[in-house]
Chain A
Amino acid sequence: MLEQRNDPSSTLPGDAHERERLGNVRPSEWRNPRPGAWYNLAVVGAGTAGLVAAHAAAALGAKVALIERNLLGGDCLNVGCVPSKAIIRTSRLYAEMRTAEQYGAQVPANIRVDFPSLMQRMRAIRARISRADSVHRLNEAGVDVFFGEARFTGGDALTVDGAKVRFKKALIATGARPDTPSIPGLVEAGYLTNESVFDLTELPRRLLFIGGGPLGCELAQAFCRFGARTIIAQKQPMFLPKEERDAAQILSDAFARDGIEVRLNTRAVKVRVENGQKLVDLVRDDYESTVAVDVIVTGTGRVPNVTGMNLEAAGVDYDVTSGVRVNDFLQTSNPRIYAAGDACLEHKFTHTADASARIVVQNALFLGRQRLSALTIPWCTYTDPAIAHVGLYVRSARAQDIPVKTFTIPMHDVDRAIADGEEDGFVKIHVKERTDQILGATIVARHAGDMINEITLAMVAGIGLRTLARIIHAYPTQAEAIKKAADAYNRTRLTPTIQSLLRRWLAW
């Protein structure tokens, strides 16, 4: 039976994998320890930011308390990156089976999607990865783990499960939760979010995704490839409005090939249930329509978890929409208390949560002055093809009056992409005009997430395209596209004057 379940611990079925995961991230026999007299660092929230900070601080000798109200590992492990990537892998396999002819292979007869089996694989993977986040590892690392609701009682203390935890420094790493759109009838009809969609035990026949954000796109493509009729309805008039238009164009075509129906500039205005199906009224400009689906998944953004902790008592300013207010050093309005991850950041990614937590450990415990703004943050939407980005977009560079030039290599010019039958996409590297300084890059490719790391490395290390052109890339690889972009830059250095000099030199 499908129903709205916003408690990730209610995952069904309770198989061995789930027992292993819960044994790692929320053991039923757990008893909170007696708090120490004080802690160097009290961490509220044990998602990515909280776990990274707790482990890093403990490894450096700090006394650390970690408080979690639900599951260790947070969204990423339990209801985000890990389970979604696991099912995306299976969905790619099904897509490749159906298009096997393109690879000179035979399409298997009777391709049957075994949804329970692929979800079981997802749970097995999630359980395995949960070992790294387990309460036992935290204990071994010397971290005191408390399960329960944290409430600040002042600027240097909080309570959890009736016990008082005193701290010299604290970190708020409470993450975010799905924002639920206020659509009449939605709650009554029932809906899923990214937190509950992984609880499905049967493949819905028809799904409507409300909101066309990255996670919604990833899941929509996966469910479509499992055989569900999938519709995405989003308010914004442009598909993936934050991405470069060409990237969105390529993905839009890929979605159309898969059979996903994308309805842009469209609002869901009413939901009702008739004959066991959900009827959703959609409005686009002056055009109204109704779609009948079995499951609605909302993905209209995420809101930070900032209430219920009595942050007022700690003197920590926050906003229910943008989260805990922090300065560039991730310090809140109470200088002893810091924040990291989704609770305070605009870019709500696991790797940003990780990086911000490391900044907090340095700044809070070791007088560090590391700045959030100094980070170079890549991100990737793991659709097929994937879209990865780092640094500035052309639009933002031009808005800052930075002259920018883009070196573009379509993947159809890359031998390995041709051999792999993965020619959809491009590498675009944006440089400051008349220099080789990389301002940013966008990659659309099957493995864009892996490829973007080379550009991030170059940007952080201050390596320009001129040097990248000297890096020997193993042949044939798809990452050779980056080398080709660097070669294209080098060719622009051959100005007519230099070409003329070269000709004269070679004429001797």
Chain B
Amino acid sequence: MSQDDCVMLERLQRAAFGYFLQAVNPANGLVADTSRENSPSSIAVVGFALAAYPVAVERGWMARAVAVERSLAALRFFHDSDQSGSPEATGHRGFYYHFLDLYTGVRVWRSELSMIDSALLIAGALTVSMYFSAQTADEVELRALVDALYRRMDWGWAQNSGTTISHGWKPECGFLRYSWEGYNEAIVLYVLALASPTHPIEADGYKAWTATYQWENLYGYEFLYAGPLFVHQFSHAWIDFRGIQDRFMREKRCDYFENSRRATEIQREYARRNPHRFAGYDEHCWGLTACDGPSNAMPILANQRHRLFGYAARGVPYGPDDGTLSGWAALASLPFAPEVALCAARNMGRLYPEMVSGQQYASSFNPTLAAADQRAWVSAGRFGLDQGIVVLMLENYRTGLIWRLMRDCPYIGTGLRRAGFRGGWL
């Protein structure tokens, strides 16, 4: 990697971390979902923020004491939060509502008690508990809080009497009727559910979920199919999947890390083909994923003739695809495919500088919807998840810090082994 690339990565990673400084409520450690006005907090973004604090400490962007203080604020808030499951509570049975008021911490938007977002929160919490290992009063308290939060999560209840884990629950109507179908970002969720010392699920839950996998030969690559790019990244932010295999991957003679590399290549192949003939797409300009996006409901786009999907999980090769790409998603593939991810990051940054402001990536941009000045349509504000995945994946690429911390986390090892993973560092 060239010196220029090193400088670029440092710049982008530090700016992405800057989001967590800008969007945090220091009183309770909650972090806003987006930088938009009146944004509530997303519990998953808090998880990413927690995991980002050790990165910031290591890189000298934040003092250790401040990082501990920020972490403790969040952990104490969740620990002491209303777990009654009432419509105005914060959580229930150790899980939390997806969106919380940034100041009061109570549920907003009638959001669901979200299993995956709770898992990402607790993954972040486990990361800080592995990093802050000193025997100071604060760090001892921090580790105790994390353990208490994890032990409180009732994973068996989250199965809703079935084998797989439910998407969510609402006090108004009970469990949502959606289930995880096909490969997605939920490995970390299952690993945590399997490893719980208090309320673990049986291994057949993982087997039932992986039974919905599809192994496909597409564009000359064989891979475990999932359309949106973030699916191939989110669990990898925490877990080092290099060289470890579950039963499915043993059967396919592959691993999830290599699979994400292939998924990255398939994004390039799709963009090169560009079946819908959107502006900008080519092998160095891609990144279809879950993101904000233009919508026909926006007054300035009301006359657009092709359909626009707003916030959606865009994916390849079956869509939805409305010409909207995410720069951060291409960069977050760095650990899997460094050359192609760097090349895309440089190229997209050069051609569409408007998608980066203050060195932070916008959620998405759409060159097909260019304004009169030729600048691409750009999603307003910043999204916490996007900044979080950039911080974590760049760190994993640069030093492997998060992977190293989580490899040493006994819960992660236990969960992976119970899911049938063997080999490699495990």
The interface of chain A, by Cβ under 8 A from chain B, is 237-238, 244-246, 249-250, 253, 256-257, 265, 285-286, 394-395, 398-399, 403-408, 410, 412-413, 423, 426, 428, 433, 488-489, 491-492
Additional 14 contacts, C-beta under 8 A, given A238-B181, A412-B273: A246-B318, A253-B307, A285-B172, A285-B173, A285-B176, A395-B211, A398-B211, A404-B215, A405-B222, A406-B215, A406-B216, A407-B217, A412-B317, A428-B216
Known: A285-B170, A286-B173. A257 touches B222 (CB 8 A): no
B217 near A408: Cβ-Cβ < 8 Å: yes
Is there contact, CB below 8 Å, between B217 and A413? Answer: no
Alpha-carbon gap, A330 to B340, bound state (A) = 59
Query: Of all chain B residues, which has the CB nearest A403?
Result: B251
5 A-B pairs with CB atoms under 8 Å apart are A237-B178, A253-B307, A265-B177, A395-B212, A406-B225
Inside 8 A of A265's CB, which chain B residues have their CB?
177-178
B177, B214, B251, B275: the one contacting A406 at CB < 8 Å is: B214
Distance in Å: Cβ of A101 to nearest Cβ of chain B? 9
**Is the pair B181, A408 in contact by a Cβ cutoff of 8 Å?**
no
A-side contacts of B211, CB under 8 Å: 395, 398-399
Contact of B65 with A by CB under 8 A? no
Say whether B205 faces chain A, with CB atoms less than 8 Å apart: no
Complex contact A406–B319 (CB within 8 A)? no
Contact A394 B214 (CB under 8 A): yes
* Pair B251/A433 contact, Cβ less than 8 Å: yes
Residues of chain B within 8 A of A256, CB atoms compared: 307
Q: A413 vs B269: C-alpha distance in the bound complex, in angstroms?
A: 11
Q: Could you tell me the distance in whole angstroms from the C-beta of A301 to the nearest C-beta in chain B? A: 18
Our pick among A237, A244, A250, A286 for the contact of B172 (Cβ within 8 Å) is A286
Alpha-carbon gap, A333 to B26, bound state (A) = 74
Point out the residues of chain A lying under 8 angstroms from B77, CB to CB: none
Complex contact A405–B318 (CB within 8 A): no
Q: Is the interface of B mostly helix, strand, loop or mixed?
A: loop
A contact residues around B144 at 8 Å (CB): none
Residue B60 at the chain A interface, CB threshold 8 Å? no
Contact: A492 with B319, CB < 8 Å?
no
Identity of the chain B residue whose Cβ is nearest the Cβ of A428 in the assembled complex? B216
Who on chain B is nearest to A398 by CB? B211
Report if A423-B275 is in contact (Cβ < 8 Å); known contacts: A265-B177, A407-B217: yes
Cα distance A329–B316 in the bound complex, in angstroms? 45
In the complex, whether B132 has a CB less than 8 A from a CB of chain A is no
Are the CB atoms of B251 and A250 closer together than 8 Å?
Answer: no
**Is the pair A405, B217 in contact by a Cβ cutoff of 8 Å?**
yes
Considering only residues 67-111 of chain B, those with a C-beta below 8 Å from chain A are: 110
**A210, chain B: closest CB distance, angstroms:** 17
Q: A418 — nearest CB in chain B belongs to which residue?
A: B275
Q: How far is the CB of A213 from chain B (nearest CB, A)?
A: 18
B118-141 CB contacts (< 8 Å) to partner A:
none
Give the interface size bracket for B toward A: 20 to 34
A143 to chain B, nearest CB (A): 48
Using Cβ atoms and an 8 Å threshold, which residues of chain B touch A253?
A: 307, 319-320
For B219, the chain A residues whose CB sits under 8 A away are 413
Docked CA distance A124–B275 (Å)? 40
| Interface pair A488/B170, CB less than 8 Å apart | no
**Complex: how many Å from CA A491 to CA B213?**
23
B171 to A, closest residue via Cβ:
A286
Q: Does B299 contact A (CB under 8 A)?
A: no
**Complex: A404 Cα to B213 Cα, angstroms:** 10
**Is residue B162 contacting chain A, with contact meaning CB distance below 8 A?**
no
Please give, as numbers and ranges, the residues of chain B lying within 8 Å of A413 by CB-CB distance. 219, 273
B217 touches A249 (CB 8 A): no
Judge whether A249 and B319 touch: CB under 8 Å: yes
Rounded to whole angstroms, the CA-CA distance of A470 and B201 in the bound complex is 49
Q: B358 in the interface, Cβ–Cβ < 8 Å?
A: no
Distance A401 CA – B219 CA, assembled complex (angstroms): 26
For residue B273, which residues in chain A have a CB less than 8 angstroms away from its CB? 412-413
B410: Cβ under 8 A from any A Cβ: no
Q: Could you say which of A246, A249, A492 contacts B222, with CB atoms under 8 Å apart?
A: A492
**Shortest CB–CB separation between residue A21 and chain B, in angstroms?**
41
In the bound complex, residues from chain B placing their C-beta under 8 Å from that of A423 are 275
What residue of chain B has the Cβ atom nearest to residue A249's Cβ? B318
Contact for A408 among B177, B178, B218, B307, CB less than 8 A: B218
Residue of A with least CB distance to B215: A405
Q: Which 10 pairs between the two chains have the least Cβ-Cβ distance?
A: A286-B172, A412-B275, A237-B177, A285-B173, A406-B216, A408-B218, A286-B173, A246-B318, A407-B217, A398-B211
Q: Which residues of B from 177 to 197 have beta carbons under 8 Å from A?
A: 177-178, 181-182
Quick one: closest A residue to B214, CB to CB? A394
Neighbouring B residues of A426 by C-beta, 8 Å: 317-318
Q: Within the assembled complex, what's the spacing in Å between the Cα atoms of A412 and B281?
A: 15
Contacts of B214 in A (CB 8 A): 244, 394, 406
List chain A residues, Cβ under 8 A from B227: 246, 249
Asked whether, in the complex, the Cβ of B217 is within 8 Å of the Cβ of A286, the reply is no
Known: A407-B217, A408-B216. A245 touches B173 (CB 8 A): no
Q: A256-B307, A408-B217 are in contact. Are A286 and B110 (CB under 8 A)?
A: yes
In the complex, A428→B225 CA distance in Å? 12
B286 smallest CB distance to A (angstroms): 15
